[in-house]
A and B are shown apart, each in its own frame.
Chain A
């Protein structure tokens, strides 16, 4: 049966039409900007997303997709794409010293090598902009020792006739220029990095600023030979050859230039985790502590939670509701706050623990006390959750079964071990596995409490309380020598580990099968 176009139109509900209309409007407004910026990926993505949304919401067939498409698009854009990028990075040497492409690296090395020629002239410098807004582009007004004025921008030098400028009578520095806005010393200072990076190309080199009111002529001391792929230091005559993402000296001294570029390295990041002793050592140490941390956190929180649930589970126990409300507080308190409070309670000089016990212990200072402190805090954060769960599960234990066991002469302990415990464990198992997975990657508690400290001597990237995720985070974003390639490889290993653990867990509890069955 084919519907008439008018019938089809009548079946469209207006919220969907409005939604698609808004999306199309958004796309129409965005695409010109994207075209302006030559962002063809952006144009493709915008057009594709709009087309998919219009197709799904305006045609009658794709009912399931209507419920899934928005979430899927967001998932692809902000989770799958970044993950793909990270996995891609895992096969490169990307990181500090290897951030650029090769041509960018060559340009950077050359630019950094600009040195002032000995005995060359210096210029008096004024910096000027077209308008009063100093955030825009600026130019140099340069007065040479003979009083001749030139204007320099990124394209080169243009002579400026004396009639267009007024000059300081002693130094010759340009004070006003027709059509230009000369910046004050404070404004020039405010340009900061932009001023330092600004270069006016001349025939043999560059004019760069030195200080706020002087400029010099510099020349490259590094010369790149594109055919031979070599970089030559003209001062020493050393030749560097491009290989594996960096320039290596060919004289066999092993010297390399500090700026390299990003290249693919295959499985090197993965194998170095296993074979390079300097990486393997910390990695294995952190891995062992990660597993211990996750297991002990689950066991301690579950143990205390179960104990409390059993203690409260008595018909004549008074104040049960008050107890559970108060025990809920650590769970209800936003964890970032509680963790920071615990961090301050452990403080050696001012902390509450030392005050209460009259001690002077550096709780977070030595490896074992720091690990214990992390576990204690995590117990505090987690036990109310386990208490709530266990209390709920205890309600589900069939009373008749307990009765029967008691009548048969079983001791209270025996009833607990053989009747209560199995029922509770069956219910709690999936949650224990989920909790294990959660703690395995419990970044916040480590980051806010110790940030991995203390560090064993000789290791500045892997602390004694670091778990894999905080260690990886430091490799990527730790400030000193970011190693994105290696960090991405470890992220991928973490992904596989957590995946395997969860898979095993789900298999065991058969939860996956149940979900699929429906």
Chain B
């Protein structure tokens, strides 16, 4: 039976067109010398870095500040998020204690609540916190990070618990017999073994914080405090046409590193995905 391949390539290429048109359009808009949506076509009409230089010099949109804010907020949040998530997962996977089952169910239950609808409560809470500890109040990166960490013991803990369960218990039991403390087992044995999964979970939480616009939009109102998502959304939310080149240039600079990391980690990702991670 001779299988013909051309139709497979046909479907493949058609889907590539579908997948790549918006991305090509974004690149074209970023390079478009005029910098408006109305003059942008699919194929770049010229290669100009006018949008990029406008982006870096526009006093209304301190792009570099946004970029730094985003790196700090998403970086710190995702690292701590993974750390808190995996220590919870370790306890649920390896230790036996009262309230383990209800704890697991409870964590899952809390995640079912669309928590940003509790925004009013968070807002009022942080007005109070800010009046005592200004460093954690509204319009601070720290405040937002702390709110993000509220969800650290959530879906990630489940996901990581599932992964830790696949690491043979004999490994840590023999270490315990050799006199290792629980902390040593966790930091020296489990964490290194779980590294691929930690990287995937860390990347997914980084991207979900990167995409988060609601809490960030309410918490960070000062122009210099914004994250990329809030800032770039602001560039096009009112008027889709005039600042489009600037938006596209900014988006491209924000998106390229993430895309490269995804491509680099491709084989880990598949593993993480089949374990049940949904990119938020």
Contact = CB atoms under 8 A, between A and B. Distances in A.
B266 to A, nearest CB: 7
A64 interface: yes
B12 A78 contact: no
A308 interface: yes
A480 B188 CA distance: 55
Given A311-B11, A334-B255, A75 B154 contact: yes
A501 to B, nearest CB: 9
Nearest to B261: A332
A39 B125 CA distance: 12
A515 B236 contact: no
Contacts of B181: 13
B83 to A, nearest CB: 9
Interface string B36-80: 111011100000000000000000000000000000000000000
Contacts of B221: none
Counting chain A CB atoms within 10 Å of each CB, the highest count among B154, B161, B240 belongs to B240
A502 B18 CA distance: 32
Chain A interface size band reads: 35 or more
A19 to B, nearest CB: 12
A324 B113 contact: no
B229 A336 contact: yes
Contact of B95 (A67, A81, A351): A67
Interface stretch (A167-175, A263-271, A490-498): A490-498
Interface string A313-336: 010111100011111111111111
Contacts of B18: 380
Interface in B95-127: 95-97, 101, 103-104, 107-110, 112-122, 125
Interface in A447-476: 447-448, 469, 472-473, 476
B114 A469 contact: yes
A82 B218 CA distance: 15
Nearest to A442: B280
Contact of B244 (A308, A335, A344, A385): A344
Nearest to B25: A352
Given A330-B23, A331-B262, A336-B213, A304 B15 contact: yes
Contacts of B23: 329-330, 333, 338
B117 A476 contact: yes
Interface string A412-431: 00000000000000010011
Nearest to A356: B42
Most chain-B CB neighbours within 10 Å: which of A74, A330, A447, A488?
A: A74
A502 B112 contact: yes
Interface string A205-236: 00000000000000000000000000000000
Interface stretch (A131-139, A278-286, A433-441): A433-441
- From DSSP, what is the main secondary structure of chain B's interface residues? helix
Interface stretch (A112-120, A154-162, A388-396): A388-396
Given A75-B153, A324-B266, A307 B207 contact: no
Contact of A86 (B117, B146, B207, B271): B117
B93 A518 contact: yes
Contacts of B211: 334-336, 444
B209 to A, nearest CB: 10
A83 B278 contact: no
Interface in A64-108: 64-68, 70-72, 74-75, 77-83, 85-86, 89
A473 B236 contact: no
Contact of B146 (A39, A74, A518): A74
B115 A83 contact: yes
Interface in B133-172: 133, 146-147, 149-154, 157-158, 161-162, 165
B20 interface: yes
Contacts of B182: 63, 66
Contact of B153 (A71, A438, A491): A71
Contact of A82 (B121, B207, B241, B269): B121
Contacts of A77: 150
B118 A85 contact: yes
Given A81-B125, A337-B26, A329 B20 contact: yes
B116 A71 contact: no
Contact of B278 (A82, A318, A338, A438): A438
B247 A82 contact: no
Contacts of B21: 352
Given A316-B5, A326-B20, A494 B95 contact: no
B180 interface: no
Contacts of A42: 128, 132
A384 B19 contact: yes
Contacts of A304: 15
B121 A85 contact: yes
A349 B251 CA distance: 22
Given A336-B213, A518-B93, A83 B118 contact: yes
B99 to A, nearest CB: 9
Given A332-B263, A337-B254, 5 more contacts: A304-B15, A312-B8, A391-B270, A392-B271, A473-B116
22 contacts: A63-B182, A67-B88, A71-B85, A86-B118, A319-B12, A328-B262, A330-B19, A332-B258, A333-B259, A334-B258, A335-B211, A350-B36, A350-B38, A350-B240, A392-B271, A431-B273, A438-B278, A469-B117, A472-B114, A488-B117, A494-B114, A515-B104
Interface of B: 3, 5, 8, 11-12, 15-16, 18-23, 25-26, 36-38, 40-42, 84-85, 87-88, 90-91, 93, 95-97, 101, 103-104, 107-110, 112-122, 125, 128, 131-133, 146-147, 149-154, 157-158, 161-162, 165, 181-183, 186, 207, 210-211, 213-214, 229, 232-233, 236, 240-241, 244, 247-248, 251, 254-255, 258-259, 261-263, 266, 269-271, 273-274, 276, 278-280
The 10 closest A-B pairs by CB, nearest first: A78-B150, A71-B153, A82-B118, A332-B262, A85-B121, A82-B121, A67-B91, A350-B38, A64-B97, A491-B117
